[in-house]
Structure 1
Amino acid sequence: MKSFQLILRNLRQIDTLYNRKISKDLSEISTGHHFEVLLILSRQVSPITQNQLAELLQIDKSRMANIVFYLEQNELVTVKVNPADRRQHYVSLSANALNAIPYIENKVQQVNDVVQTGISEEKLKVFLEVSETIRQNLIKKVTE
């Protein structure tokens, strides 16, 4: 198997297993595998639109709309239409989600601790640098 196939397979498996573990640990909150959206929203200092959120997550607008709908149905986000531009939808955390953020952060940290078991700081740093370089290379090609 060629190295790029191994990279793709390994990254896909890491992503799947990581999300599956966190989703399982967060099953009582009904985040699905959208915990990352909640964490991003928790770090915003000003209102953020659904489209801005899609850009931050590098996903298409229709996928973002589905995620926001799911989170709204589970009372984890609130959506407000911008009265000045009805095409814009501001997304923010609900009171339920605000209360759950420390729990989510704790569960994510627990999974991160498991993931990092047996990996030196140096190796982890190299992995993160290489994966970021791969990500940036792909972003450049996708946006060309």
Structure 2
Amino acid sequence: MKNTQLISENLRLINYLYNKNLAKELSSIKVNHHFEVLLILAQQKGPITQNKLAELLHVDKSRVVSIVFSLEQRKMLTVKTNPADRRQHYISLSPHALLSIPYIEKKVKEVNELANTGISEEKLDTFFEVAEAIMQNLTKNKH
């Protein structure tokens, strides 16, 4: 790789192609590409705050507000205001979304298998190790 080539170019293309395939596979579920939000919420032990969701998604809170509003309009999320602090909202999956999770997980597995086709387990492990190392390098405080 040339030193001047942005790593993000390849990562952005992989992200685009991966999400395009996933959106195609999950086109019957109308959630505007927000499958990751549903999967993250399905992994939680109970409702979480919008701030916690923003942290888990690595996006700012204003973006989460927009996503939550969109998914709530589609009856995929329930949002409840904390009576002790009306500024705080708890988010959880709706019963309808809970029924969709196994299907979403199945389609994610299928797209992952497609993405991994022809790549050895060893190379995949190396890819994830390198990706983790890059993330660690970029998040270190360097003075």
Tell me which amino acid in the other structure corresponds to 2:9: R
Aligned residues of 2:77 and 2:92 also touching (Cα < 8 A): yes
| RMSD, aligned α-carbons | 1.6
Structure 2 residue 46 is the aligned partner of structure 1 residue 12: no
Deviations 1:29-83 (A, max 9, x none): 1122110110000010132101100001110000011111111111111110111
Q: Percent identity?
A: 63
Partner of 1:138: 138
Aligned residues of 2:46 and 2:92 also touching (Cα < 8 A): no
**TM-score, with length taken from structure 1:** 0.92
Partner of 1:24: 24
State the 1:6 CA deviation: 4.6
Unaligned residue ranges in structure 1 (runs of 5+): none
Partner of 1:77: 77
Aligned residues of 2:48 and 2:92 also touching (Cα < 8 A): yes
- Give the helix-richer structure, 1 or 2: 1
- C-alpha separation in 2, matches of 1:47 and 1:88: 12
Partner of 2:62: 62
Distance verdict in 2 for CA 1:96–1:57, change over 3 Å = same
Partner of 1:100: 100
Aligned residues of 1:23 and 1:31 also touching (Cα < 8 A): no
Tell me which amino acid in the other structure corresponds to 1:129: E
Partner of 1:34: 34
The farther-off stretch of 60-69 and 2-11 is 2-11
**TM-score, with length taken from structure 2:** 0.93
Partner of 2:110: 110
Unaligned residue ranges in structure 2 (runs of 5+): none
